[in-house]
Structures are given as C-alpha cells and as structure tokens.
Amino acid sequence: MSKRKITRETIDINERDYLTAGECSEIFKVRQRTILAWIKSGKLRDFVTAGGFHRIPKAEVEKLKQETRLHNSQKKVMIIDDESIVVKTLENFIQSYFPDVEIFSSADSVEGLVMLGKLNPDLLILDIKMPDLDGYNVIEKIKNMKLRSKILVISAFLDDETARRLKKIGISNYISKNTDFFKFAEKLSQLLSLHISE
C-alpha cells in the first residue's frame, strides 16, 4: 500500500497561517475568480507558491471581513412584494449573506411606496406584478420622488417582453425569482458595493 505524501496542504486548516483561494471563496461566498480579482486589485494581499498557487494570510482575510462588516452597516434594503412568503424568504436570505444590512419590507405596494419615501434605502427589491399598484407604476412614482435608491426588479415571469419594457423605462437590473441564491447574492453584492459575508 502506498503512503500518502504529507504536504502543508494536508495539514488541518486551523493549523495553517494561510488560506487557499478556494477556501477564501467559501468564506466570502463568492467565486474563486472573484477572490483572484480582489488579489489583483490589492483588496487581499497574498503570496505565490513555487507552483504558482495563491496563498492568502489569515490576517488579511480577517482584516477584509472586519472592513466588510463596517461598510455593510451603512446600507438599507427595502423589499416590496405582495407574496409574504417571498418577502420572508428574501429577508432571511439577505440577513444570512449581509448580516449588517438593515432590511425593511412591505407586502403592499402602496404602503411600501410611503415607506420608501421615508427610508430612501440604498436598494429597492421590487416585484413587478402586484395588485393595486404594480411595479411599473411604483418605478414611475419613484422617479418623480427623486430617490437615491437603486432598483432591482424581481419576477417569476421575466420574459423578453418584460425585459424590453423595463429597459425602456430605464431599469437594467432585473432577475428571475427562480435564480439560484448564489447568483442572487452576487447581484446584491454588486448593487450594494458590498462583499458577501461569511
């Protein structure tokens, strides 16, 4: 029976003073290429092994995690969706990926619009198909209110016609409710200019 070669990589992660790019991607819940982009931009300092592999000191990872928490605390997100189960799911999801973000929500578009005017959040997550006042009307009213809020439209029925209509009114950020959580988290990270927390 051949013996397994013992290398630094087989040592328990808790006994190492560095992490691999793959391990960092799991911590920040981003793709490995995002970690490599952070390294290239200087957000994460690393060293490269003789074999050409990136290794990130744990101290650098902890530093970025702390900076992320401080930055995240400044952000507010508002959810408007008439399906209460969707609202609850989104609240739990955002809380798990961005724990320091303040979350506000409404299952009523009219009530949500009033809250929106008072809160002026960084991001509005808006269902496009709702009774009383649909997402298109909400967007029109938001533009008249001159809020700073970025808008992310979500819909279970996001077809080409809906996408064209949204682009026509200046909305380029939209996503299907069927999108997997990882892609959704990346979209929120982009719109909020936040890193995804552990």
| Rounded Cα–Cα distance for residues 22 and 24 (Å) | 5
DSSP tally for the chain: helices H, then strands E: 8, 8
Domains of the chain (ranges, CATH numbers): 8-70 (1.10.1660.10), 73-192 (3.40.50.2300)
Candidates 188, 185, 195; CA nearest to 173 is 188
195 or 111: which leads in pLDDT: 111
Candidates 127, 144, 133, 143; CA nearest to 111 is 133
Query: Of 34-38, 45-49, 65-69, 115-119, which gets the smallest average pLDDT?
Result: 65-69
Average pLDDT over residues 10-15: 56
Average pLDDT over residues 49-76: 82
Pairing, β 76-80 against β 102-106: parallel
Instruction: State the pTM of this model.
Output: 0.62
Average pLDDT over residues 151-177: 88
CB count in 10 Å sphere of residue 1: 3
Query: Of 14-18, 71-75, 183-187, which gets the smallest average pLDDT?
Result: 71-75
Beta bridge partners of 48: 54
Helix axes 21-28, 58-72, angle to 10 degrees: 20
Decide if pLDDT at 78 tops 50.
yes
